[in-house]
Chains A and B, each alone.
Chain A
């Protein structure tokens, strides 16, 4: 029904475009001058046709369920039902009216279901009537308004400008959505678990909170020593550190080589090949780390008499490092190429070799940009999920031994939220609190990194 109405509105929009343009042609044929191209008369009419209709349409879609629910539940007011029971009753009658109800059918529910159906049909037909009359009214108004000396281009362009502006708000809306989705759960979480315990506690066993019987009242003492995030934060930074130990030397050196030494031919082939590494989905890296690198390191360690976990931090961090190589290499490549040639020439003129020039002149000049690229790499390493979920341990383990397994923020979020979640459970809220800390940490890193890179660019442009 909605789809038909929607298509109908769109069709009417096209028709009114046609009529608007036709009116413009008629005006033109009477030798009067138009104030805009005939299309604008069409657009003007089409906007007047479709936009009021869509506004009513979407308002209706938002408010109809609430109003229907209120009307149905008004039958049960003053009967001493709790809110939850009323909600359940409403859901049951809705299900019954759709024929999907499987429980026991009481007369109450049956009556409500019938009422629901009749209300819905009334709502549907009145919606059609209202939308159509709105279209007729607004099109008639707009059609009367357009004449030879009325302005049509300006309103149309103003409208388009408004549409463009609204679209540009999407980025802000997404950020607001992220903060919004994280903050409430996080606040609820910190109502149960003191912030201090979360930030400084050293035991992380969220599984302990799961055995709780849901009917039991929340007892904060039960969770003491359950949600201490220190091992998680430590594991996250530790794995990111291992990753950067792999990525920085290889990424930086290949960036330098590509920028300063490589012939155009080598550059032309090597650069895209290295960038393939950035295009491989992380789940593929995770599979590689879990199935090839992990067992390989374990075997290697055993042959050297070391005890290596099959899910060692080294395997996850090392593979993550490979993933980050291209980010660092191409960013530092860009940064180094944008160092002005005059700096190099000056250094060569003093008799410095190429590597001396790079180490003593170009590198210091490019340092801010390189730091920026490394910070972006760190932010990526901290936020990386699939590699750690698949290749590193899932139990939080406070250790600095790269051969043991540790866990990270992202891995814990996945572990907690995979499968069914109950909102309101401290365990679920803990995942959102972890997400909040992840968001904040990466946000700071990104802002600093982007600012550093931007400042650097401005310096040499």
Chain B
């Protein structure tokens, strides 16, 4: 009898321990996913911040460039750089036949002509001389140099030929291949060529959308929260507004995309693919988030503040505007920033209103077509070229960086400026 009891007790203690272990392993799993996730993104993405350059000697032959003696600045602008560019690449292997010359040309980006031109424009004295110029390597060689591209595949399965590899290895051996910080990733717009593609256009698109979103959502949400928390009578209609807000907070984001498409584009004829429409759509989506945060922080202001103001003769509006609202601002602001961070990461509604268009210019206003950072991630992730994989991860790193900064900022505002009442 006693032994039985002990066994039972032991069993119960074991069950206790098992249960505890399940809980611990659940937390461990969640954190493991997070770690794998971040590790994966960083390990594929960090290399995109480096860019491979080939250092190629270029002879600035005035004849080949169709330049006269003492050319003016305009002449230099209009000169023909294609031939010298081609020739300098072909000169990498003096014995190359025509096919091989073509392959040599494809070792650098199609931008190489312009890079040579810029070199000369910066230093017009180079005419007739030979000078080494940094040329952007093609994205395949870039990947080879970073070790992301399997070299042991059979030749017909890779995009780099044996010949290109041979020349490239020679260049590497001579120290003519250099890796530098990839500035163009931050200054270029999107491009079909992975080695030239950058996030500038989508970054500006994101900034414009977020600004439009902030300008619409913040005032409307704060005013609505003030009304609902401080002035609204308790009746059916107020309840209805409240149900609406809570529901909107949980409506799938793609439905807001359909709203943008069906109302903003089809009825109001706002320009497609622009951050303006994107921002309005996102603002409708963030509205409930900000309203809920603002109401919570208005509610957190103790009634004694209101009573004190009312007692010395302030009207309800004065009490609210001069005392309650300023005191609730830290909470409201941090809720707004969190709402904006959500909007910044949103993709689906922007796809529906056409912000997935290929944009190779940097937008200058919210009325210009643009992509946004998350949409750029989607566009690049759908692209088959290997060079884009690291770009996607790098773009994700930039996006996550922004989200982290915004969330930290929200935390700081909350902790630094929020008054503790108890």
Q: A-side interface residues toward B, CB under 8 Å?
A: 153, 157, 160-161, 163-165, 167-172, 174-175, 177-178, 180-182, 184-185, 249-254, 256-258, 260-262, 270, 273-274, 276-277, 279-284, 286-288, 290-292, 322, 325-326, 329, 353-356, 358-359, 376, 379-380, 382-386, 389-390, 410, 413-414, 417-418, 421, 423, 431-432, 435, 438-439, 442-443, 446-447, 449-450
- Contact indicator B252/A283 (Cβ below 8 Å): no
Given contacts A182-B262, A329-B30, A432-B258, contact A355 B351 (CB under 8 A): no
Using CB atoms, name the residue of chain A closest to B19. A355
Q: Given A167-B224, A383-B253, A418-B351, are A250 and B244 also a contact pair (CB < 8 Å)?
A: no
Q: Is the CB of B254 within 8 A of A413?
A: yes
Chain B interface (Cβ within 8 Å of chain A)?
A: 12-13, 15-16, 18-20, 22-27, 29-31, 33-34, 37, 40-41, 219-221, 223-224, 226-228, 231-232, 240-241, 243-248, 250-259, 261-263, 266, 284, 287-288, 291, 315-317, 321, 341-342, 344-348, 351-352, 356, 374-375, 377-378, 381-382, 389, 392-393, 396, 399-400, 403, 407
Interface pair B389/A354, CB less than 8 Å apart:
no
Residues of the B chain whose Cβ atoms lie less than 8 Å from the Cβ of A382: 252
Contact B224 A164 (CB under 8 A): yes
Asked, given contacts A170-B220, A253-B23, whether A287 binds B381 with beta carbons under 8 Å apart, the answer is yes
13 additional A-B pairs beyond A274-B34, A442-B255, beta carbons within 8 Å, are A175-B244, A181-B263, A182-B262, A250-B30, A257-B20, A281-B344, A325-B33, A354-B19, A355-B20, A376-B250, A379-B250, A446-B251, A450-B247
Closest residue of A by beta carbon distance from B33: A322
A182-B258, A273-B31 known; A442 vs B252 contact (CB < 8 Å): yes
Quick check: A283 and B262 within 8 Å, CB to CB?
A: no
Q: Which residue on chain B has the smallest CB distance to residue A153? A: B315
Instruction: Pick from B22, B30, B317: contact of A161, CB below 8 A.
Output: B317
Give the shortest distance, in Å, between B197 (CB) and chain A (any CB): 16
- Known A-B contacts A161-B317, A384-B252; the reply to A180 vs B23 at CB < 8 A is no
**Nearest CB in chain A: distance from B393 CB, A:** 8
Chain B residues, Cβ within 8 Å of A177 = 259, 263, 284
Give complex CA distance A284, B33 in Å: 13
Q: Which residues of B contact A329 (CB under 8 A)?
A: 30
Q: Which residues on B sit within 8 Å (CB–CB) of A410?
A: 252, 254, 348
Taking CB atoms, residues of chain B closer than 8 Å to A326 are: 30
Chain A min CB distance to B81 (Å): 33
A-B contact pairs, 8 of them (CB 8 A): A167-B219, A168-B228, A281-B345, A284-B400, A291-B389, A354-B16, A383-B252, A389-B348
A233 to B205, CA, bound (A): 34
> Nearest A residue to B227 by beta-carbon distance?
A164
Q: Could you tell me the distance in whole angstroms from the C-beta of B119 to the nearest C-beta in chain A?
A: 37
Taking CB as reference atom, which chain A residue is nearest B244? A171
B392 to chain A, nearest CB (A): 6
Q: Which of A359, A383, A423, A443 contacts B266 (CB 8 A)?
A: A423
Compute how far the CA of A244 lies from the CA of B26 in the bound complex, rounded to whole angstroms.
14
Inter-chain contact B317/A160, CB cutoff 8 Å = yes
Closest to A357 in B: B16
Taking CB atoms, residues of chain A closer than 8 Å to B30 are 250-251, 254, 274, 277, 322, 325-326, 329
Taking a contact as CB atoms under 8 Å apart, the answer to whether B251 and A443 are in contact is yes
Contact A181 B40 (CB under 8 A): no
Contact indicator A168/B254 (Cβ below 8 Å): no
Write the nearest CB–CB distance from A348 to chain B, whole angstroms.
13
**Cβ contacts under 8 Å, B284 to chain A:** 174, 177
Whose C-beta in chain A lies nearest to the C-beta of B265?
A: A421
- CB neighbours (8 Å) of A251 from chain B are 26, 30
Q: Hey, which chain A residues are within 8 Å of B232, CB to CB?
A: 168
CA distance A292 to B259 in the complex (A): 33
In contact, A414 and B351 (Cβ under 8 angstroms): yes
Q: Contacts A174-B248, A281-B346, A414-B254 hold; do A250 and B262 have CB atoms under 8 A apart?
A: no
CA–CA, A183 to B291, complex, Å? 27
CB proximity of B155 to chain A, nearest CB, Å = 24
B244 to chain A, nearest CB (A): 4
Bound CA–CA A171/B263 (angstroms): 16
Q: Which residue of A lies closest to B263 (CB)?
A: A181
**Known interface pairs A277-B33, A283-B377, A417-B261. Does A443 touch B247 (Cβ–Cβ under 8 Å)?**
yes
Shortest distance in angstroms between A23's beta carbon and chain B's nearest beta carbon? 21
Question: Which single residue of chain B is at the shortest CB-CB distance from A273?
Answer: B31
CB pair B223 A167 closer than 8 Å: yes
In Å, the complex CA distance between A253 and B223 comes to 40
CA distance A432 to B257 in the complex (A): 11
Q: Is the CB of B224 within 8 A of A358?
A: no
Q: Is the CB of A273 within 8 A of B34?
A: yes
A156 to B389, CA, bound (A): 59
Q: What chain A residues lie within 8 Å of B356 (beta carbons)?
A: 418
What residues of B have a CB within 8 angstroms of the CB of A256 in the complex? 23
Chain A residue nearest in CB terms to B250: A446
Question: Which partner residue on chain A sits nearest B396 by CB separation?
Answer: A284
Is there an interface contact between B288 and A171, defined as CB atoms closer than 8 Å? Answer: yes
Residues of A within 8 A of B393 (CB): 287
7 residue pairs, one from A and one from B, having the closest CB atoms: A383-B252, A257-B23, A281-B345, A181-B262, A167-B223, A253-B26, A355-B19
Chain B residues with CB under 8 A of A165 = 227, 231
Q: How far is the CB of A369 from chain B (nearest CB, A)?
A: 16
Q: Is the CB of A390 within 8 A of B220?
A: no
Whether the Cβ atoms of B254 and A383 lie closer than 8 Å is yes
B contact residues around A273 at 8 Å (CB): 31, 34
Contact B381 A450 (CB under 8 A): no
B399 touches A439 (CB 8 A): no
Given known A-B contacts A181-B261, A286-B378, A414-B254, A249 and B26 have beta carbons under 8 A apart: yes
Contact A274–B31 (Cβ < 8 Å): yes
B261 touches A421 (CB 8 A): yes
Q: Which of A165, A326, A384 has the most chain B CB atoms inside 10 A of its CB?
A: A165
Q: Which residues of B contact A181 (CB under 8 A)?
A: 258-259, 261-263, 266
Give chain A residues whose Cβ lies under 8 Å from the Cβ of B399.
Answer: 281, 284
A404 → B minimal CB distance (Å): 21
Q: What chain A residues lie within 8 Å of B15 (beta carbons)?
A: 353, 355-356
Contact of B27 among A270, A353, A355, A438 (CB under 8 A): A270
CA distance A290 to B240 in the complex (A): 41
> B381's closest neighbor in chain A, by CB?
A287
The listed residue (B27, B33, B352, B378) touching A258 by CB distance below 8 A is B27
A178 touches B224 (CB 8 A): no
* CB pair A180 B263 closer than 8 Å: yes
**Interchain CB contact (< 8 A) of B227 among A167, A288, A449:** A167
Q: Is the beta-carbon distance between B258 and A435 smaller than 8 angstroms?
A: yes
Q: Do the beta carbons of A283 and B240 come within 8 Å of each other?
A: no
- Separation of A275 and B241 alpha carbons in the complex (Å): 29
